[in-house]
Chain A
Amino acid sequence: MRYQATAVQYLKRFYLTNSPMTYHPKEIMQTAVYLAMKAEDTFHSVRSFAEKLDVTTESILASEFLLTQGLRFTFDVRHPFHGLEGGFMELLAFTNGKGEAGPGVKKSPKETREEMLDMSPPPGKSKAKDIKEIVIRCQTAHGKAKELLKTSALLTDAYFLYSPSQLWLSTLLIVDEPLARFYLDTKLPLTSEVKPKIFTVLRQCAEMLRSSPATQPDKEEKKELKRIQKKLEQCRNPQKLDLVAINRAQKRDPDMNGGDGLGETVAKRRKLEREQSMKESEDLFGPVLADKKG
């Protein structure tokens, strides 16, 4: 689903400039999904959304603005999914003898189709006997590439470094290199100077995708996750533990949010935090324990 991919990118963008020690990923994650649903036209009321997750609506909304600021108000995420679908449709058109080669490529639709039949098979497979087998090969590659886009492309930093078309083409390169080569050779003339450059970038991108962590962590990784989680609990910023309470206070006293300048300035935030900790140190028994319900 598109909004899920968007939510993952929101999280990644948010933590470019924020620390998980300040804002717990668990809380930000819920809000990221909710905001991504709105941004991708999959709106559900906050009530029904919170009910599904069994949390309060306030816990979802409390960090919405924080997240929005962390994203520098850029809601648009360019995904590689449409590009992959388009490329797949083109490949199918080539098998039908209906696909037009790219500008400057001197291949008739018939020649293109024959070239597909002639393509070297994927490793471990024998050469295709007829065009039906090529169609199946395209479908298989499409399915595998899509899976990679839904996992590795999201879990690595690939979205930050590569364009949507580079992303989907490099997944094609991973799952069926001869097919990817055929595709690019049909879209770009042999003499094209950019082709070697494109391949260099695609290879770098593919390498990054291959390095992706698994979507389902194994036993060892789970253990490691638990350890990190425990450690995180100990080193969290105590002032940002209860986002719901902070949000409430901000709504009551808008000036806490730092005037109407361009975002909350660091200086103002520091001052605020100083005042807060001074107030708390006056309290004989230390700061109030955070309400962890949210």
Chain B
Amino acid sequence: MPIADKKLGEGTYAVVYLGHLKADPKRLVAIKKMKVNTAEWRDGLTMDAIREVKYLQELSHPNIIALHAVFSSKNQNLNLVLEYLPLGDLEMLIKDVDGIRYGTAEVKAWMGMLGRAVWFCHENFILHRDIKPNNLFIAADGEVKLADFGLARSFADPYRIMSHQVITRWYRPPELLLGARHYAGTVDVWSMGTVFAELILRRPFLAGQTDVEQLELICQWIGTPVEENWPGVSKLADYIRFDKGNIQPIRGKEFFLSTFGTAGPVGVDLLMSMLALDPRKRSTSRQVLEHKWWTSEPRPTAKEHLPKKGGGPEKMGEDLKRKGGEIPASRGDSVARRLDFSAMR
């Protein structure tokens, strides 16, 4: 039985507490208490809570946050007992440009863990639909853990339409921005590609302030989606006829090498395959794992040697004190939850 100790953070639909097992006080857990019937939600259990419980209960993988138990409490709240992940998230590491240095070997280690998590979801017919650095938590031993399954869903039955209002804007693939209602695991692969780019650049790669601007950035940096490079694209619901004179052909390897050269030519090749405009030409999560970048030099850094925020487990206590107040303000998740990205950051 878990006992709640102190508050770790708060999101739109949940408050997260640090807890420990009654039988073994050294075993720490995170207890995520889902809120019910907020101002915007009067429909009972939230979709977020149902999805998170539904999918995390089925997935058991070293790179996916573990759900140990679910229990109910006063006020008919759902409480999720989650694996406690004390070292923040990937976004903190990326942002801490002065404090944390890393190179290709580290990026390869983090991307490898992300790639395995996403592949495992897809192998189990689950789309995550909200992959971004601050949903990638870091465990005490440096392992990256994919978290926040509040937007996840199972692969649709054939012909069933799905919402295109998913995935935080900066990580959203072009087909969703263009209103596709049928899509596949490749939406998550695009997000993975933008995370890869962000890890190298140490700032968000395509940071549009509006959906239109997001699409413009994609045209500018990757290429303009047209029938020639993406057959069928003009039939998507929100397709915009791009100005003939303004069409940017798909960027070639030279261009990517000039921006992401530190990943090396093989790494750039993988990045480009994840950021292919046409989802049919984009790598699947399995193809990502089969790419030769993983087995070429340099080898990925061992997880125990990866740079960590806050100097590892010894300093954990102090770290937590700061975290409670500090993180919620910097997270954009709450905005994504309501599927209105207009106010982001």
A250 CA / B47 CA spacing, docked (Å): 22
Chain A's closest residue to B152 (CB) is A41
**Do residues B43 and A73 form an inter-chain contact, with CB atoms below 8 A?**
no
Total interface residues on A, CB under 8 Å, equals: 34
Question: From residue 62 to 115 of chain A, which have CB atoms closer than 8 A to chain B?
Answer: 64-65, 68-69, 73-76, 81-82, 85
Binding site for A on B (CB under 8 A): 1, 42-45, 47, 50, 53-55, 57-58, 69-76, 78-79, 125, 153-154, 156-158, 162
A84 CA / B21 CA spacing, docked (Å): 44
**Do residues B57 and A76 form an inter-chain contact, with CB atoms below 8 A?**
yes
Chain B residues in 8 Å Cβ range of A38: 43, 45, 47, 50
Question: From residue 259 to 279 of chain A, which have CB atoms closer than 8 A to chain B?
Answer: 259-264
Chain B's closest residue to A254 (CB) is B74
Chain A's closest residue to B43 (CB) is A46
Can you list 22 A-B contacts (CB < 8 A)?
A2-B157, A35-B45, A43-B43, A46-B42, A46-B44, A68-B45, A69-B72, A73-B57, A73-B78, A74-B57, A75-B53, A251-B76, A255-B74, A257-B72, A257-B74, A257-B76, A261-B1, A261-B71, A261-B73, A262-B1, A262-B71, A264-B72
Kindly identify which residue among B44, B53, B157 contacts A64, using a CB–CB cutoff of 8 Å. B44
Beyond A45-B43, A46-B43, 6 additional pairs, beta carbon < 8 A: A46-B44, A64-B45, A68-B78, A76-B57, A254-B76, A262-B69
Chain B residues in 8 Å Cβ range of A75: 50, 53-54, 57
**Do residues B73 and A259 form an inter-chain contact, with CB atoms below 8 A?**
yes
A75 CA / B46 CA spacing, docked (Å): 13
Chain A interface, >50% SS class: helix
Q: Is A61 an interface residue (CB 8 A)?
A: yes
A257 CA / B47 CA spacing, docked (Å): 23
Question: From residue 17 to 63 of chain A, which have CB atoms closer than 8 A to chain B?
Answer: 34-35, 38-41, 43, 45-46, 60-61
Chain B residues in 8 Å Cβ range of A34: 44
Kindly identify which residue among A60, A82, A250 contacts B76, using a CB–CB cutoff of 8 Å. A250
Chain B's closest residue to A65 (CB) is B76
If A250-B76, A257-B76, A260-B73 touch, whether A39 touches B157 (CB-CB below 8 Å) is no
A259 CA / B157 CA spacing, docked (Å): 41
Interface string of A137-169 (1 = CB under 8 A from B): 000000000000000000000000000000000
Tell me the smallest distance from the CB of A75 to a CB of chain B, in Å. 4
**Do residues B153 and A73 form an inter-chain contact, with CB atoms below 8 A?**
no
Interface string of A186-199 (1 = CB under 8 A from B): 00000000000000
Choose among B42, B45, B78 the residue with the greatest number of A CB atoms under 10 Å from its CB.
B45
Chain B's closest residue to A1 (CB) is B157
**Do residues A81 and B58 form an inter-chain contact, with CB atoms below 8 A?**
no
Chain B's closest residue to A73 (CB) is B70
Tell me the smallest distance from the CB of A196 to a CB of chain B, in Å. 30
A257 CA / B78 CA spacing, docked (Å): 13
A41 CA / B50 CA spacing, docked (Å): 10
Chain B residues in 8 Å Cβ range of A82: 125, 157
**Do residues B72 and A263 form an inter-chain contact, with CB atoms below 8 A?**
yes
A222 CA / B236 CA spacing, docked (Å): 51
**Do residues A254 and B75 form an inter-chain contact, with CB atoms below 8 A?**
yes
If A46-B42, A85-B158 touch, whether A73 touches B74 (CB-CB below 8 Å) is no
**Do residues A260 and B74 form an inter-chain contact, with CB atoms below 8 A?**
yes
**Do residues B58 and A43 form an inter-chain contact, with CB atoms below 8 A?**
no
A209 CA / B120 CA spacing, docked (Å): 33
Chain A residues in 8 Å Cβ range of B58: 76
Tell me the smallest distance from the CB of A151 to a CB of chain B, in Å. 18
Chain A's closest residue to B2 (CB) is A262
**Do residues B76 and A73 form an inter-chain contact, with CB atoms below 8 A?**
no
A43 CA / B74 CA spacing, docked (Å): 26
